[in-house]
Structure 1
Amino acid sequence: MDKNMQSQVKKDYFWNTMGSGITAVFSVVVLWAVTRIMGPYVGGVFAFGYAVSQQLQTVGAYEIRTYQATDVREVFKFETYLAARIITCLAMILCAVAYGFYHEGFTEEAIVLILICMLKVFDAFEDVFHGMFQQHKKLYIAGKALFYRMLITMLGFVLFLYITRSLLISCILTILISAVAVFYLNVPEAKKMVSIRIRFQWNQIKGLLISCFPLFVGAFVLQYLSNLPKYGMDQYMSKEYQTYYSILFMPAFVINLFSGFAFKPLLTSLAENWVGNQKSKFMGTIVKGLLIVGGLTVVVIGGGYLLGIPVLSWIYGVELAPYKTEFILLLLGGGFSAAGVILYYGLMVMRCQKLILYGYILTLLISLPFSGMMTQQWGMLGASLLYVGLMLLRCIILVFSIWWGMRSSRKKEKGDLSHEVF
């Protein structure tokens, strides 16, 4: 690898790490600000709204980014990706409005929920530019744009909340500055690489949306699985418990964060290894990722057991001592979740979208009978046990899916298509 290539890789890793890091820090800092300034109940309103926004972000993103970044043969042009993303983001906005008024009625809490979802629309929309940057092996541009946009959004939200003491007004003002940041941090750089004309070529858009549909449904179901404990608590427990659960869940996200650091920059090369029939390198990268996730999980659980509860209680100003068992369970679930991300990336690169979809739907069908019951009977402990069980079950099914996908690939190479599943 020459010096220019080494410099490029370093920039990609650095800015991808900065962008992913600030994304994780955003929810931590904003929940802290809302809880400290407005109290645990309003903190719960924000926490539940943020969970719904993450759910609906899967509609806006439509899981096109991963497909786009690994589209090394450029089956679809950028103008198709851009037009499709506009359509999916409009669908996300409509879903947010419908869900907000359905769930909360015509109240201020419904409007706040919709506005929180609007903040996530920008995450979904700018991602189409970031996929193009990564596709052109300029991931550092995407990471830099994401970092500065999230930093501006986060600081603006906290400042507006401190001044106005209103979650609703803070969301409105933050939406305005986030819109400006998305445009100026992404469009000028994108113009240097591609045409950003918006052309609705419906046959191309339809082909892209059909290709990504299994990935979208899988991502939507996965986010639903991750949110099931919160949905159960919203049904049977007061809003304060959304705050407690979200605080305890924050460190679990660290493991997922580091799995993203390791794998997002490798997606394109992972795809090239698969397309180039270098299966041993492909599988070696996945196994290495799983080992890293396992080591991180052990470290985070150890640190969480010793220091987690006192530190989190001090930072957020709420008493969390009764929930130490729940905290450790959530950290363990975070490890299983991160392992599932590695396996998901592998299956996506293999273009086994249907296997991903089948696996997630199977996980959902198995878990649905237990979701409400566990939260209703055991409260926070039941919600935490539910999360661990969901993430473990998902991992087991995805491991089997990887094995089946590799087996089917070998059959295909030998000319036996009787086992073709994708």
Structure 2
Amino acid sequence: MSNRKTKELSVEQSLVWNSVGSMAYLICNWLITVLVVTLGSDISMSGSLAVAMSVGNIFATIVLLRARPVQVSESYSDFTTGNFIAHRIVATILACVICFFYCLVSVAFNDWAVVAVYCLFKAGDSFVDVLHGVDQVNNRLDIAAISQIVRGVGVLVSFSLCLLLFDNLVIAVASMAFVTIAVVLTYDFRMTKRFCAVIPDFDFTSLIKLSRICFPGFVASLACTAVVSVTRQFYGLSYGNEALGFYAAVATPTAVIQALVSYLYAPLLGPISAMWRENETHRLRLVFIKMLVSVFVLTAMCAMASAFIGEPVLTAIYGKEVGLHSDYLPLALVATAFTGLNFFTIDVFIAFGKPIIGTISGAASLALAVFLSRYCFVNPVFASDANVINIIILVAYGFGLLFSFLCIINLLNRKAKQSVTSEL
């Protein structure tokens, strides 16, 4: 281990590097969903990849366990990097067990192989988050950004070449896992060792304490992630991977909206926490209003643009067969914005010290999504219209958002009354 100091970045530089790295990685992963359609010999490959991504998102949520905010917070400085690495290893093993049983009841057997290798890819992708947390604490998010760019380009190139050479989705996704693990071992570990030891510390007491701190936010984010995953999988099981593949090809680019929403609110979490502690309820209301207006305007602009140019753009990217399904795009954009807002409320409740409210909201949304999926996808009235996926997601997330914002309003009103009472 080396403790020598390295030149730190300013907050502005860190934000720029983080945004560039995250967006580059996001674009590369999105292009993979494009290439599986254009380079694969069968549209069902897109459906299989969508299933793998759905399970992979659940897997990653379990592995991450909402530990990054704890790692970078000064309030929990008693935990070492070794504790977080050990915690991530245990969480990965737990995720493997949970997702195995999840696949038994929700994934067709012929998709198991691609799901397994995609989860291996997500394991490396999620593990490096611990090392990037060290980068963030030491104000060197340029290291994390470079890793994201290299890994993004690497998985994109390897996936494309393997799909062209072998026309086999399992081999193509396995190559993504190989590239990711290689970059983490040869670059990220080496860079992080300049700041601290990267040896796991399996201290039982620390692991239990860390798990208790992370658990409410983890459950909330897992339920929030599962709303989309479960709805898509119910549709795929009902109408087949080819039908799901068309929807996934159209809907996947909308992930950019969720990323933009996270970029909007991530810098606000610190000020929100400070305003809450200082009883600045009026400023908090203004922050929430500005956040909602910003997301509404962004989503409305994208939805209107998609209505006019969605079909020609999708046709140019995927081909005419996918372009004909451009009517999925506007609602998919709104559904994705709702996804981002739900994650925003989860983090707000964590900032307020009330994470259990986010857990209740997420669980209610998931329960509603499961109920609606089981009803709608066996009802002939809805045929195989994939827009039903978007509608179910919107209703489920809409219910969760309504509950969350009512709770936020109630908390702010109570906080304001307490402030007035203390001044009297």
Q: In which range does the TM-score fall when normalised by the shorter chain?
A: 0.7 to 0.9
Cross-structure match for 2:3: none
Asked if 1:54 corresponds to 2:19, the answer is: no
| Structure 1 residue 87 corresponds to structure 2 residue 94 | no
Choose from 394, 399, 406 the match for 1:393. Answer: 399
Query: Over residues 119-140 of structure 1, what are the superposed CA-to-partner deviations in whole Å (9 max), with x where a residue is unaligned?
Result: 1111211111222332344333
Q: CA deviation at 1:114?
A: 0.7
Alignment of 1:25-36 (within 5 A): 25-36=27-38
Residues 40-84 of structure 1, C-alpha deviations (whole Å, 9 max, x = no match): 111111111111111111111111113323344524232221211
Could you tell me how far apart the structure 1 residues matched to 2:290 and 2:259 are?
A: 16
1:176 match: secondary structure: helix
Deviations 1:4-36 (A, max 9, x none): x99623322222112221332233211221112
1:178-197 equivalent positions in 2, closer than 5 A: 178-197=180-199
Task: Structure 1 unaligned segments of length 5 or more: list them.
Answer: 417-422
What residue is the counterpart of 1:172 in the other structure? 174
1:227 paired residue number? 229
Q: Which amino acid aligns with 1:226?
A: V
Distance (whole Å) between structure 2 residues aligned to residue 271 and residue 297 of structure 1 = 26
Query: Equivalent residue for 1:22?
Result: 24
Letter in 2 for 1:381: N
Distance 2:302 2:264 in 1: 17
Contact 1:350 1:405 in 2 (8 A): no
- Residue 318 of structure 1: how far off its partner (Å): 4.6
Q: Which moved more, 1:30-39 or 1:71-80?
A: 71-80
Aligned to 1:420: none
Number of residue pairs matched by the alignment = 411
Mapped contact 1:236–1:376 kept (Cα < 8 A): yes
- Cα distance in 2, alignment partners of residues 67 and 387 from structure 1: 29
* Structure 1 residue 278, shift from structure 2 partner: 5.4
Aligned partners of 1:288, 1:45: CA distance in 2, in Å? 39
- Counterpart of 2:51, as a letter, is F
Cα distance change of structure 1 residues 413 and 62 upon mapping to structure 2, 3 Å threshold:
farther
* Match of residue 117 from structure 2: 115
Distance 1:9 1:352, change over 3 A: same
Q: Show the counterpart of 1:149.
A: 151
Q: 2:129 matched to which residue of 1?
A: 127
Change (3 A) 1:112 1:87: same
Inter-partner Cα distance in structure 2 for 1:202 and 1:334: 39
For residue 357 of structure 1, report the CA deviation from its aligned partner: 0.4
Indicate how the Cα distance of structure 1 residues 153 and 69 shifts in structure 2: closer, same or farther if over 3 A, else same. same
Q: Distance in 1 between matches of 2:197 and 2:355?
A: 29
Label 1:409 to 1:190 Cα distance change in 2 as closer, same or farther (>3 A): farther
In structure 2, the residue corresponding to 1:250 is in which secondary structure? helix
Deviation at 1:282, TM superposition (A): 5.1
In 1: Cα distance, 2:283 partner to 2:76 partner:
20
What is the 5 A alignment of 1:21-420?
Answer: 21-38=23-40, 39-100=42-103, 107=110, 109-268=111-270, 270-275=272-277, 283-320=285-322, 323-377=325-379, 378=382, 379=384, 380-407=386-413
CA distance in 2, matches of 1:297, 1:101: 37
Within 1, Cα distance between the matches of 2:399 and 2:294?
A: 20
Deviation string 1:311-338 (CA, Å, 9 cap, x unpaired) is 1122112524554443221122222222
Please state how far the C-alpha of 1:271 moved relative to its aligned partner.
4.2
**Shift of residue 207 of structure 1?**
0.7
Q: 1:242 to 1:208 in 2, by over 3 A?
A: same
Q: Compute the RMSD of aligned alpha carbons.
A: 2.8
**Aligned AA (1:49):** A
- Paired with 2:116 and 2:158, the residues of 1 have a C-alpha distance of 19
Q: What TM-score, normalized to structure 2? A: 0.87
Distance 1:105 1:368, change over 3 A: closer
The CA distance in 2 between the partners of 1:77 and 1:412, in whole Å, is 37
SS at match of 2:336: helix
SS at match of 1:200: coil
Cα offsets for 1:71-122 (capped at 9, x unmatched):
4452423222121111101222333444446655765x31121111111111
Work out whether residues 35 and 316 of structure 1, in 8 Å CA contact, stay in contact via their aligned partners in 2. Answer: yes
Assess, with a 3 A threshold, how the Cα gap between structure 1 residues 75 and 259 changes in structure 2: closer, same or farther.
Answer: farther
In 1, Cα distance between equivalents of 2:137 and 2:323: 46
- 1: CA distance, partners of 2:199 / 2:373: 46
Letter in 2 for 1:222: C
1:198 counterpart SS class: coil
* Distance across 1 between alignment mates of 2:62 and 2:228: 16
